[in-house]
Amino acid sequence: MNGVYLSFYLRTSRIHIFTEALRLIGCPKRICLLISADGRSLLMRAHETRDLKSHRISQNVYNGRGSYEISSWKLCRILADLHSWDLEWSYRVPGVILRDQRSVRFSLAQAEAVGKEFS
């Protein structure tokens, strides 16, 4: 793995996308998340247009004044059910950069429990 990750904080239904992953796909202004048909991977790709499937990235994320998180109860629950994740735990998922596609493919099957949430 090349050291790019995202984390799912299931108790609070948040998805934390590590800034390095965003930088490695060209610092996009928007991204979209796509789940593979078999549910084993999640693709994060740069997305050019504002629409219902895109998420806006603030410039503060790239200049070090902020982190990037998406709140999505539905996505967190779908993935937790699909992979039998404990809703009280957080999971870190490794990814592979697909530079030519301005994307990162995260392997949900390789998710690692990183700690129980206490919020």
Cα 104 to chain centroid distance, Å, stands at: 9
Listed in sequence order, the residues at least 6 apart from 80 whose beta carbon sits closer than 8 Å to its beta carbon are 8, 10, 86, 87
Domain ranges of the chain: 4-116
The per-residue pLDDT of the chain, averaged, comes to 91
- Entry pTM: 0.88
Contact assessment for residue 109 and residue 42, using Cβ atoms and an 8 Å cutoff: no
| Region 108-114 average pLDDT | 95
For the stretch 38-71, pLDDT in tens is 999 999 999 988 988 899 999 889 988 777 999 9
